[in-house]
Amino acid sequence: MSLSFSALELQLPSVAFFGRTFAEYLRCFALDPSALATRRVLDVAAGPSSFTAEAHARGLRAVAVDPLYGYPADTLAAHVQIDYARMLREMRRQEHRFRYDYFPSLAAAEASRRSAADRFLADYEAGFIQDRYVGAALPRLPFADGAFDLVLCAHLLFVYARHFDYDFHLAACRELVRVSREEVRLHPLCGLDGLPYAALSRLIGDLQAGGVEARQAPVDHGLFPGTDSTLILTRRGQAPA
C-alpha cells in the first residue's frame, strides 16, 4: 500500500498517556534484549510504561519517569481510559493510513497497547514505592550525570512538536544526554502528520556543537508513516554500546 505522509494527521490536543510493550520497544529502538541484562535503562516520558514493568519482571534494571507518576493508581487508570479512547478514536478515523507489517491489524495494535497499560497499572503502586516510577518531566530530570547506561524517549519530542518549541527540544536532548552514560535513543523522528521533524538538521548541528554526536538508524517497526527510524545520541568519542 502506498502511503502519503501529508495525508495522515492525528488530532491530539495534548500529550497522551499512552504506552507500548517491551517487545514493541525492542523493535522501535532496535534494541538487543540480551544487551539489556548489563545496562541500567531509563524510560523518559514513559506514560503507562509496560516496558519498565516487563523489564522488572525479567530481572532487568529499568526506571521510568513521567509527570503523572505520583498520582494514585485510580487517577492514572482514568488517564488511560480517557487518553486511550481519544487516541484509538483518532487511529480508527484514519485506519487506512496505517501499515500493518508489525501488527496484522489496528485491532491487534489496540489489544497490544491495552495490555501494556494493564501491565503498568498492575506494577505501578509497588514500583512507585521502589522508585521504579519517578514523577518528573523534561527538560529537568532528578538524576545524577551518567546515572543510566541507556536512556530511551518514545513518542514525545518530535511527535508533539506543535506543543514544544525548538529550545525545549534542544534542552531536552541535552538533559537526556546528561543522565546517560552510554547513549540516548529517540523515536520516532516525525510528527503526528508523519512528516519528518522540520528542525532535525538544526538540532543535530547544535547538539554536535556541544559535543554530542547524533546519527539516525533504521528500525524494523512503524505503524504509521515516518516511524521507521530512531535517533541515537552519544557524547563525542563515546561509541554506542
pLDDT in tens, 31-79: 999 999 999 999 999 999 999 999 999 999 999 999 999 999 999 999 9
Cα 213 to its chain centre, rounded Å, is 20
Mean residue pLDDT of the chain comes to 88
Q: Which CATH class is domain 17-235?
A: alpha beta
φ, ψ of residue 152 in degrees (nearest 5)? -115, 145
**Residue 12, pLDDT score:** 52
In which residue are the cell numbers 529537568 written? 140
DSSP assignment, residue 137?
B
Report which of residues 127 and 86 the model is more confident about: 127
Predicted confidence (pLDDT) at residue 157 exceeds the cutoff of 80 = yes
**Residue 9, pLDDT score:** 58
Predicted confidence (pLDDT) at residue 227 exceeds the cutoff of 80 = yes
Predicted confidence (pLDDT) at residue 191 exceeds the cutoff of 70 = yes
% residues pLDDT > 90 (the chain):
65
**Residue 52, pLDDT score:** 98
Per mean pLDDT, which range of 90-104, 185-199, 215-229 is the poorest? 90-104
Cα–Cα distance, 27 to 102 (Å, whole number): 9
**Residue 90, pLDDT score:** 79
What average pLDDT does the segment 11-18 reach? 71
pLDDT category at 107 given cuts 50, 70, 90 is confident
In which residue are the cell numbers 511527535 written? 159
| CB-based burial label for 57 (10 Å; 0-12, 13-18, 19+) | exposed
pLDDT category at 5 given cuts 50, 70, 90 is very low
Give the closest residue to 44 by CA, choosing from 133, 166, 145, 164: 133
- Name 68's Cβ contacts closer than 8 Å, sequence gap at least 6: 17, 47, 75, 76, 79, 135
pLDDT category at 91 given cuts 50, 70, 90 is confident
Predicted confidence (pLDDT) at residue 241 exceeds the cutoff of 80 = no
- Strands 229-235 and 180-187 come out as antiparallel
Positive or negative: CA dihedral 155, 113, 227, 15: negative
Report which of residues 162 and 119 the model is more confident about: 119
Cα–Cα distance, 184 to 169 (Å, whole number): 14
∠42-45-51 over CA atoms, to 5°? Answer: 55
Predicted confidence (pLDDT) at residue 189 exceeds the cutoff of 60 = yes
Within 60-199, residue ranges assigned H as helices are 73-93, 106-129, 166-178
pLDDT category at 163 given cuts 50, 70, 90 is confident
Predicted confidence (pLDDT) at residue 6 exceeds the cutoff of 70 = no
What average pLDDT does the segment 179-188 reach? 97
pLDDT category at 1 given cuts 50, 70, 90 is very low
pTM of the model: 0.90
Grid coordinates representing 159 are 511527535
